[in-house]
């Protein structure tokens, strides 16, 4: 129906046969390989892929279930061609956070999170139909039992715009008090704490689904009467072939710390030959993200 509507509008539109992730990979065209259909509009800049079945899908941002290597475009004249379904543009997840620590280790702060493309699609799908109180309870429990207030969403239904969440929070379990010193992870609950890649040998490619960029801009105010004893050093970790880059920069400005972190994966699918490199990259990234700032009394 979508293809017919696009054709009626005068566009060069054709159906694209797809095998969804749960259906397996279509290794070659045949009548039983495909189980799903999307639409394609041919333009001078290339094909624009569309799906009419997901209310949060936008042009070239298909439902996650359809991101399965290649589809088969079928034209009116009976000809066909292979269509690459895997996204090339990174989906962004950008976090802006500022927080202060008091002398007892209590943290009070504000967060603004902005998601684009597939990160926005997944976020919208996750909150669709969920009562806000339930969502906030889950948010609090998954983030070291913080207390969330002043929660707001923007562009929840404006699907061509980034999905934005803002909230203030307080947390009594985000710092450790040991021997009169305060130990705090500067990324708080946004730090990656566990390497997802534990296998010694990987037999199948790593499938991220889409390229992505996670960025964190964090401002930290240390308490009166304290000074920084130690803090993590800046670091950059890069993988070969421009597969991905992790950057960690931190600076102290008269008791206020500025932290900028970025984690970028540029390929949706990582081959088994690159698995060991990816595993070591994540190991280094997590080691850096879990380093703590130590504050001592002046």
Domains observed in the chain: 2-84 (no CATH), 91-297 (2.60.120.1130)
209 secondary structure, DSSP code: S
**Tokens 């890069």 identify what position?**
238
Mean pLDDT score of the chain: 95
d(CA 151, CA 149): 5
Report d(CA 179, CA 173) in Å as an integer. 17
Give me the pLDDT at residue 298, please: 87
Rounded CA separation 138/246 (Å): 28
The per-residue pLDDT for range 48-86, each reduced to its tens digit, is 999 999 999 999 999 999 999 899 999 999 999 999 999
Select from 298, 88, 290, 47 the least CA-distant residue to 189: 290
Helix or strand holding residue 163 (H, E): strand 163-171
User: Is residue 264 very low, low, confident or very high in pLDDT (cuts 50, 70, 90)?
Assistant: very high
Other beta carbons within 10 angstroms of residue 119's beta carbon come to 22
**Whether pLDDT at 146 is above 90:** yes
Task: Give the tokens for residue 70.
Answer: 């290649």
pLDDT for res 128: 93
Which residue in 151, 150, 140 sits closest to 174, CA to CA?
140
- How far is the C-alpha of 128 from the C-alpha of 68, rounded, in Å? 24
For residue 31, the tally of other CB atoms under 10 A from its CB is: 6
**Three-state DSSP class for residue 85:** coil
Nearest alpha-carbon partner for 190 in 294, 124, 289: 289
Given this model, what pLDDT does residue 286 score? 97
Q: 232-240 long-range contacts, Cβ below 8 Å, gap at least 24?
A: 232/186, 232/288, 232/291, 232/292, 232/293, 235/284, 235/288, 237/281, 237/284, 237/285, 237/288, 239/274, 239/277, 239/278, 239/281, 240/274, 240/277
**Residue 30's pLDDT band (boundaries 50, 70, 90)?**
confident
The listed range with the strongest mean pLDDT (67-71, 85-89, 94-98) is: 94-98
């Amino acid at each position: 129906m979508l293809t017919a509507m696009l054709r009626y509008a005068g566009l060069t539109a054709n159906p694209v046969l797809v095998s969804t992730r749960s259906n397996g990979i279509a290794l070659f065209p045949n009548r039983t390989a495909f189980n799903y259909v999307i639409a394609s509009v041919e333009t001078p800049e290339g094909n624009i892929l569309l799906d009419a079945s997901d209310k949060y899908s936008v042009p070239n941002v298909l439902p996650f279930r359809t991101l399965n290597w290649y589809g088969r475009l079928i034209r009116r004249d009976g000809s066909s061609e292979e269509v690459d379904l895997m996204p090339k543009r990174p989906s962004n997840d950008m976090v802006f956070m500022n927080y202060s620590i008091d002398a007892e280790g209590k943290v009070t702060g504000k967060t603004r999170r902005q998601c684009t493309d597939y990160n926005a699609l997944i976020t919208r799908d996750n909150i669709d139909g969920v009562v806000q109180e339930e969502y906030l309870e889950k948010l609090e429990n998954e983030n070291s039992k913080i207390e969330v207030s002043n929660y707001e969403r923007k562009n929840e239904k404006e699907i061509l715009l980034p999905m934005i969440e803002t909230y203030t929070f307080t947390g009594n379990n985000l710092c450790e008090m040991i021997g009169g010193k305060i130990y705090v992870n500067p990324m708080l609950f946004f730090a990656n704490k566990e390497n997802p890649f534990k296998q010694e040998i990987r037999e199948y490619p790593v499938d991220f689904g889409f390229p992505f960029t996670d960025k964190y801009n964090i401002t930290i105010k240390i308490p009166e009467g304290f000074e920084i004893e130690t803090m993590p050093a800046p670091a950059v970790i890069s993988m070969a072939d421009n597969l991905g880059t992790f950057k960690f920069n931190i600076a102290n400005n008269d008791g206020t710390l500025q932290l900028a972190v970025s984690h970028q994966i540029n390929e949706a699918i990582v081959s088994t030959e690159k698995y060991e490199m990816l595993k070591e990259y994540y190991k280094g990234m997590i080691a850096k993200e879990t380093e703590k700032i130590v504050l001592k009394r002046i």
